[in-house]
Amino acid sequence: MYLTWNCSLNIGIDRIDNQHKELFDCLEKLLTAIEDGKSNDEVIKTLDFLEEYVIKHFNEEEEIQNKTNYPLMDIQHIQHEDFKSDLKEFRRVFETHGGSTVLALNIQESLVNWLKNHIMNLDKDLGDFLIEIGYNK
């Protein structure tokens, strides 16, 4: 078990919280597939799903930020783009060298920590802002 959700990660906006939980699940599946030495096809499947889900989630979050004129939307966008490019880089490494415990640990240190920090800091601020203006859809 690489990632455990706990309620301190909730930002108070149900739709976003549920998507964050799903992201945790996707990352867990990816890391477990690598660690269990699953076939390349199976790992790629988990990567494809994670990449698609990340794009969907960031787009939705950014759409809400645009709609509500959220003051920190530029910083959010930059961080989201960084995460997407890190994810692409991990795919490249996997496609070149295959899976390994080291790769799983690097993903954990990089993507998992990024996600936790991003949620605990920037997304919490977004949640507070959305609650303050009465947005919860």
Q: Which stretch binds Fe ion (CB under 5 A): 16-24, 46-54, 81-89, 122-130?
A: 122-130
CB contact set of 35 (below 8 Å; sequence gap of 6+):
99, 101, 104
Rounded CA-CA distance 16/60 in Å is 9
Binding part of the chain for Fe ion, among 25-33, 39-47, 57-65, 88-96 by CB under 5 A, reads 57-65
Nearer to Fe ion, 81 or 109 (CB): 81
CA dist 125 and 127 (Å) reads 5
* Token reading at 3: 């990632």
* Closest separation in Å from C-beta 122 to Fe ion: 6
Contact yes or no for 2/28 (Cβ under 8 A): yes
Q: How far apart are CA 90 and CA 51, in angstroms?
A: 11
Contact string (CB under 5 A) for Fe ion, positions 8-27, x = contact: --------------------
Site string for Fe ion, 70-89 (x = CB under 5 A): ------x-------------
Nearest approach, Cβ of 78 to Fe ion (angstroms)?
Answer: 11
How far is the C-alpha of 67 from the C-alpha of 135, rounded, in Å?
Answer: 11
Q: At its nearest, how many Å lie between Fe ion and the CB of residue 2?
A: 20
Distance CA 43, CA 103 (A): 12
Window of 41-49, 59-67, 95-103, 128-136 that interacts with Fe ion by CB under 5 A: 59-67
Least Å from the CB of residue 63 to Fe ion? 12
Residues at the contact surface with Fe ion, assessed by CB under 5 A: 61, 76, 123
